Structure 1
Amino acid sequence: MNNTLHAVNVILERLRVMTRGWAFIATLFVSGMTALATPVSAQDFNFSNVSVEGNQRIEIATILTYLGFGQGEAVTAGVVNDAAQRIRATGLFESVDVVAQGRTLIVRVVEFPTINQITFEGNSRIRDAELSAAVRSQPRRVYSPSQAESDTAAITQVYADQGRINATVTPRIIQRSDNRIDLIFEVFEGGLTEVERISFVGNRAYGESRLRRVLETKQAGLLRAVISRDTFIADRVAFDQQVLTDFYQSRGYVDFLVQNVDVSLTRERDAYLITFNVQEGQQFEFGILSVTSEVTGADPAIFENALRLRTGVTYSPELIERDISRLELLALHQQLNFVRVDPRVTRNDRTLTLDVEFALVNGPRIFIERIDIEGNNTTLDRVIRSRFDVVEGDPFNPRQIRESAERIRALGYFGNADVDAREGSSPDQVVIDVDVTEAPTGSLSFGGNFSTDNGFSLLASFKQGNFVGRGQSLSFSVQAGSDNQNLSFSFTEPRLLGRDLSFGIDASFKSTNNNQNALYDTARASLRPRIGFPISENGLLTLYYAYDYIEVKDYNSADPSKPSPFIEEDVLQGGIGTSALGYSYSYDTRRTGLNPNAGVLFRFGQEFGFGDSRFIDTTADVTAQTRVLSEEVILRAAIEGGLLSYASGDSRITDRYFLGSGTMRGFEPGGVGPRDASSDDALGGNAFAVVRLDAEFPLGLPEEYGISGGVFLDYGSVWDVGSSFGPVEYDDFTPRTVAGVSIFWDTPIGPLRFNYTEPLDVQENDQTKQFDVTISTDF
């Protein structure tokens, strides 16, 4: 019984405890709900005084302005906290504490130190001045840790842009007195991160070597120490994608696409491997070409006759742009303003052709309000304005403005030239903004010159392409060697009287001193003022006056017992001055032809002497070039000739033609042509004709070495002395034939050409040579 009562008591006690627990929980819940339902009153402060502590350079009044409230003003704790954040946000203080003590608000600050000086350590590849330009921290300004970090990133980027992606920069601080510091950027430059290999996937029409020559980025090779384009720069790779696209589209591959560019580091992380994944697509040609008109008064037939495109030509967007410009210019000449040409292309996948309809449409009636030019600190406004075909008040044509922008960039005076159009004072007016950044246009150089014909000489030259900001070119050079001296001066005004008319003057003095290639000395002074102007899209005509003073002296025959009477007569005449009027005409399709891989250059000129010596000097040459075998092989053919005829007087040895290695390879200077039968001295001729055939091809070496090979065949002769002072050998047309091989090498000092020749058909007394080195010239 007792045990039963005890058990009952235990159960009742537990029930009472549980009841009290639930009651307590209920009380808490009710209290919590009441608290939530009752608004909390924010604590208000009312400061009768504000105290600033710790400031040394920053004025108290300046700090108080960031508080945002004044003394005696009631504020909440949140307002006080916001005030502290505003003071921190100024970047002037290392720490900021805002403390309330009674009715006084205390602002305690620790100022950032002032930068005493900024220095760079460890940099040898990039100068301090270039690194300073990338840094925004400045001496005598407050030090900012965040800005120092930004400067560190900027310096690192400068090194990355030069291919040193492994460069590291560490900012260091040295404490000085008066809360000043020295900010030091410690640089570890690292090595160049080169492009070890550039490869392509998906290319069928063109080989890798041809495509690599298109790119701005180059593979590292033999000349890596002097070639900067073999370092990896991300922006350059992006540019290469566009260049590659332009290359294919200009050759008819309208669907060409760079699918992606895979850039990876080598295992050693010291070089990059770049792979362009491309999709070429099919090559298209132009199909049906037509002109339609939606413009009143525009006859489609007249405009269609102005087209240069022809059916069957490989498609190229550039060719379409040229004909659009031609048609819009024709519309202006016919007093049809605001005419736009809309090219409408129809694709024929079955025939792989693209039909182009040039639609003449009415464009918006917008006029040019003004042309604003900025950034030209040296170049005169009129030089830049001369590149525009329009002036204020003319109809606005976006295509003309784009072409003008290209002409401004082509001047070579500016590192950057942006041309943009914006709305003017009314919707039918536009303002053309031209923003340029000027670049150096002058050079002063000293060096040496070597040729197998003339030996070694020292050279000093000065060139200025934008003389006193007028767009004029000025050059002056002095060349001195043991065998010859040459002094030359040239000046050109490209826009005489503001028109497409150039004026220039050339002057020179040259003397030879009985060198190894001649048995006499010469002195020649020349003066040639000239004017030039275009007479067609590809034709240029130049008119000039020429005055030449020539003296032959100090003749020493190779055989004193048998001097040449021809040369003796020239020496006896002393110095002779001649005057002549002349012209030269050139026709060049290398940049405007329908075929981007072929071009023709034709030049023809005549010089008419008057006074005591009346003569006609006629010269002509034509050169054609094309690329074959996926553009890997260059074929070039040239024909050159000259004829000197006298109405009174005779030619002298300094007037006649000599075939140097630049005209016909495989001979010493004066080694081919008429010779004095008694003294064997070269006399030159009044006529010459030469045919040159060349082929240039890759040798299988990495193209970054810049080495390629070639073969050539020259056929020609020089003849007709004209005078009759004695017997002459080879005075008639006696052709010679020479073949050879060439090595082309693009070196940092210029493109060199090494020729190894083998005479196939020469005369007994000709002076041949098997090897020469020349400067390679591009066609």
Structure 2
Amino acid sequence: MTAVFAAITYPAPAVWAQGVSSPAAAPVGAPVIERILVEGAQRIEPDTIRTYLHVQEGDLFAPGLIDRSLKDLFATGLFADVALRREGGDLVVVVVENPIINRVAFEGNKRIQNEDLIPEVQLRPRAVYTRAKVQEDVRRVLEVYRRSGRYAVAVDPKIIELPQNRVDLVFEIDEGPATYVRRITFVGNRVFSDSDLRGVISTEEERWYRLLSSSDTFDPDRLTYDRELLRRYYLESGYADFEVRSAIAELTPNRESFFITFTVTEGDRYRVGTVEIETSLEDLTPEMLRPGLEIEEGDWYNAEKIEDTVQNITERVGSLGYAFVDVRPRVQRDRENNIINLIFDVREGPRVFVERIDIQGNVRTLDEVIRREVRLVEGDAFNSAKLRRSRQRIRDLGFFKSVEVNNEPVVDKPDRTVVTVEVEEQSTGELSFGVGWSSSLGAMVEIGVRERNLLGRGQDLSARVSWAERRTELDLSFTEPYFLDRPISAGVDLFAVERDLEDESSHQLRQVGGALRFGYRYSDDWRHDFKYTLQRQEIFDVDSSASLFVKQQEGIEVLSMVGHALTYDTRDSRLIPTEGYRFQIANDLAGLGGDARFLRTDMEASYHYPLGDELDWDPAWVFSVRGHVGYIFGLGKDVSIRHRYFLGGNNLRGFAASGASARDTATGDALGGNWISDASLEMRVPTGLPEELGLGAKVFTDWGAAGTPDGVPENLMDHDVSLRGSVGIGFLWSSPLGPVNIELATPVLKQTYDEDELFRISFGSRF
């Protein structure tokens, strides 16, 4: 900016220093502004420019006021240059207007589309162009690319001048290569290996098979989240003194890769000593609250279980009629013995009510999807435990990159508070592709697509198609997690499956149908699901040499079935669990319409225990046990081969699929049975190989027995309900396409007509 206002002499400078411009107060002969002339204005009216001046015609030429006028004109952002000068009795204001933006365009952007960049820049068509705003927009575009993992990006703003003082603003973008995370290392970890900790954090190392994922590109926000994930993981494992000292991301000189280093201090592992409850509330004794304890003396210290205990006690106290309560866990460390004594202090909390709940930051996700996870509603007594629980429930949705839930007091209302939920959204769509081979199915290809937050409503829609040598399957599924605005999940499934069972029972099976389901979660561990299934089942292409009892089943059967499953699950992982247990009991009733009529009951339980924790071994030592029993009986008619139990294969390794089931004496076709009992003991052991290979080993033994079918004379069957057993070894590979099980097993207890299978490979986890 330029101010030409020199060589003006005043007889009374002390008066001008005070900003006095009134002619009445001025010395005799002081210069007075006769006219204010505006030059250079094109779009902006001269009178509009005069309104920003601190002097008017008839005022004195006061340097202080004119300097303020100059600064205010620049502050409008309307002008590229401003100059004020005196010509005799005239004050001349010379302006150079900033141009008007005609169009904002982006060139060179391929990875990020225009519709994603436009909301990030503040300049718009018909807005006034300023250099400061352009530089700010360049910074914003760079930040967008860096959030997507591209730190080598360059943004060059170009101006194309147009008539009538208009310009086109073009951001020329050189995206450069993606900035991947080349390596993640940990310093200071002794108990958990680098491989274990990499599985905890959300950032992943660059791999060729992560083409559809952004987790291996560097994101500083994700790095902050990873620090919290590490802290939570250690605190849940008993390391109460754990600390992430630093998380450093180093960019390589070519700006193409990051090396991330986490420096941690694990500290000692603590067990829980005494667990006490203290309360000052009238008529409330510790014994009344003790059922809410999630942690007991002798357990490993677990911060999550302490939080669950606080929540349980708070809810229990609330159910007893105490609306305002504050439960504070006090921790007393005994560092010499590595023991933490816990005291849950239950006291009366401040009488504060929730005035309102504000949701911020959600662009796509509807407010109601977030609000229904908040354990407080307007008018409720404020509860800090419920606030913390709300934060965790919203994070568990998986829709948001970050979640913050806080409360602030209301001005002039000490008994009111406002709960603010601030979220940052992330992508919830998934595209999966897999290829592989299975002993039971042969070569296989699978493609799936899933959206976990459909239209921002929290609904889950998925479609999957798989082709295999012995099975073709198409599945379409939709789930509404809050049916009729209640915490009840409801969904519909459509499916079509065709299976080749020639090797087992000399026929092929086609199933087409759908299911309606709904479920209710009683707690974080207990869940109850109900389901109605309607499907058309067809047995076709029966071999001419097949068993007579298989030929009798040829044709179409319509299945109309209702069922339920009650599940208790505390496992730490569904794919490769290392700790926890699962129990499920399920019943199915067929006969409400359709051709099939039967009642089926299944019970299954599994338990996983990390031996490394107790014996100071490698954490890879994990003991698992699984058991299953099932029984089905016909209602007025025999049970079809479509619904019977078959022993062998996945449920009895060392035996072929259906290899230990009752079979036709003449043809050898497996006929199945009306009951089954099978169990497995398994020990996962470390291999000593580099952790980056993701290869684990195991030893196991399987045992089982199965019954015979109805309607088949015993003298025409090879059958024996005696126990079968096998032992074996296996390898578990955490491959790019998911966990792969490679197993070798041999029977140790069998019948002469049973069919063996030494080698078996499958995708996924059995437990």
Q: Give the shorter-chain TM-score range.
A: 0.7 to 0.9
Match for residue 147 of structure 2 among 145, 156, 161: 161
Report which of the two structures shows the higher radius of gyration computed on alpha carbons. Answer: 1
CA distance in 2, matches of 1:223, 1:576: 43
CA distance in 2, matches of 1:406, 1:625: 25
Q: Structure 1 stretch 623-632 or stretch 311-320: which is displaced more?
A: 623-632
Indicate conservation of the 8 Å contact 1:210/1:632, yes or no.
Answer: no
> Shift of the alpha carbon at 1:144?
1.4
CA distance in 2, matches of 1:219, 1:436: 26
Q: Render the CA deviation track for 1:191-221: whole Å, top value 9, x for unaligned.
A: 3444443333333222333233323333345
CA distance in 2, matches of 1:270, 1:477: 35
Indicate conservation of the 8 Å contact 1:217/1:230, yes or no.
Answer: yes
1:426 counterpart residue number: 413
Where does 1:7-86 land on structure 2 (aligned, <5 Å)?
A: 42=16, 44-86=30-72
Aligned to 2:317, the other structure's residue is in SS state helix
1:723 counterpart residue number: 711
Aligned to 1:570, the other structure's residue is in SS state coil
Q: Does 1:686 align with 2:666?
A: no
CA distance in 2, matches of 1:295, 1:475: 51
Q: Does 1:555 align with 2:542?
A: yes
CA distance in 2, matches of 1:770, 1:82: 91
Indicate conservation of the 8 Å contact 2:704/2:725, yes or no.
Answer: yes
CA distance in 2, matches of 1:163, 1:436: 21
Q: Which amino acid aligns with 2:190?
A: R
CA distance in 1, matches of 2:632, 2:148: 56
Q: Render the CA deviation track for 1:301-351: whole Å, top value 9, x for unaligned.
A: 211243232111111222211111111111111112212212222222232
Q: Which amino acid aligns with 1:732?
A: V
1:652 counterpart residue number: 640
Indicate conservation of the 8 Å contact 1:203/1:278, yes or no.
Answer: yes
Q: Does 1:606 align with 2:587?
A: yes
1:522 counterpart residue number: 509
- TM-score, normalisation: structure 2: 0.83
Aligned to 2:61, the other structure's residue is in SS state strand
Aligned to 1:292, the other structure's residue is in SS state strand
Aligned to 1:247, the other structure's residue is in SS state helix
> Shift of the alpha carbon at 1:734?
5.2
CA distance in 2, matches of 1:566, 1:218: 54
Distance 1:471 1:214, change over 3 A: closer
> Shift of the alpha carbon at 1:38?
9.6
Indicate conservation of the 8 Å contact 2:279/2:286, yes or no.
Answer: yes
1:663 counterpart residue number: 651
CA distance in 1, matches of 2:175, 2:34: 58
CA distance in 1, matches of 2:499, 2:250: 59
2:565 counterpart residue number: 584
Q: Which amino acid aligns with 2:343?
A: E
> Shift of the alpha carbon at 1:244?
2.3
Distance 1:680 1:631, change over 3 A: same
> Shift of the alpha carbon at 1:698?
6.2
Aligned to 1:600, the other structure's residue is in SS state strand
Indicate conservation of the 8 Å contact 1:607/1:616, yes or no.
Answer: yes
Where does 1:418-457 land on structure 2 (aligned, <5 Å)?
A: 418-424=404-410, 426-434=413-421, 453-454=440-441
Q: Does 1:234 align with 2:220?
A: yes
Indicate conservation of the 8 Å contact 2:277/2:286, yes or no.
Answer: yes
Q: Which amino acid aligns with 1:556?
A: D
Match for residue 738 of structure 2 among 744, 751, 755: 751
Q: Structure 1 stretch 691-700 or stretch 79-88: which is displaced more?
A: 691-700
CA distance in 2, matches of 1:231, 1:274: 11
Indicate conservation of the 8 Å contact 1:219/1:704, yes or no.
Answer: no
Match for residue 288 of structure 2 among 302, 316, 320: 302
CA distance in 2, matches of 1:502, 1:195: 38
Indicate conservation of the 8 Å contact 2:597/2:639, yes or no.
Answer: no
2:728 counterpart residue number: 739
Indicate conservation of the 8 Å contact 2:659/2:754, yes or no.
Answer: yes
> Shift of the alpha carbon at 1:710?
4.8
Give ranges in structure 2 of 5+ residues lacking alignment.
1-10, 17-28
CA distance in 2, matches of 1:482, 1:709: 28
Aligned to 2:199, the other structure's residue is in SS state helix
- TM-score, normalisation: structure 1: 0.82
Aligned to 1:428, the other structure's residue is in SS state strand
Distance 1:155 1:475, change over 3 A: closer
1:17 counterpart residue number: none
CA distance in 1, matches of 2:52, 2:391: 49
Give ranges in structure 1 of 5+ residues lacking alignment.
1-36
Q: Structure 1 stretch 650-659 or stretch 505-514: which is displaced more?
A: 505-514
Indicate conservation of the 8 Å contact 2:517/2:531, yes or no.
Answer: yes
Aligned to 1:423, the other structure's residue is in SS state strand
CA distance in 1, matches of 2:578, 2:250: 34
Distance 1:707 1:132, change over 3 A: farther
2:664 counterpart residue number: 676
1:322 counterpart residue number: 308
2:92 counterpart residue number: 106
Where does 1:626-637 land on structure 2 (aligned, <5 Å)?
A: 626-627=609-610, 628=612, 629-637=617-625
> Shift of the alpha carbon at 1:82?
2.2
Number of residue pairs matched by the alignment: 732
CA distance in 2, matches of 1:249, 1:334: 31
Indicate conservation of the 8 Å contact 1:521/1:553, yes or no.
Answer: yes
CA distance in 1, matches of 2:678, 2:50: 90
Aligned to 1:329, the other structure's residue is in SS state helix
Match for residue 243 of structure 1 among 229, 252, 260: 229
Q: Which amino acid aligns with 1:564?
A: S
Where does 1:266-281 land on structure 2 (aligned, <5 Å)?
A: 270-281=256-267
Q: Does 1:96 align with 2:82?
A: yes
Indicate conservation of the 8 Å contact 1:218/1:704, yes or no.
Answer: no
Match for residue 552 of structure 2 among 569, 576, 579: 569
Match for residue 365 of structure 1 among 337, 351, 354: 351
CA distance in 1, matches of 2:636, 2:121: 74
> Shift of the alpha carbon at 1:491?
5.3
1:32 counterpart residue number: none
Distance 1:74 1:577, change over 3 A: same
Q: Structure 1 stretch 761-770 or stretch 356-365: which is displaced more?
A: 761-770
Indicate conservation of the 8 Å contact 2:618/2:686, yes or no.
Answer: no
Q: Which amino acid aligns with 1:737?
A: S
Q: Structure 1 stretch 300-309 or stretch 319-328: which is displaced more?
A: 300-309
Percent identity for Structure 1 against Structure 2? 33
> Shift of the alpha carbon at 1:54?
1.7
Distance 1:551 1:319, change over 3 A: same
Q: Structure 1 stretch 254-263 or stretch 493-502: which is displaced more?
A: 493-502
Indicate conservation of the 8 Å contact 2:361/2:425, yes or no.
Answer: yes
Indicate conservation of the 8 Å contact 1:370/1:430, yes or no.
Answer: yes
CA distance in 2, matches of 1:578, 1:744: 38
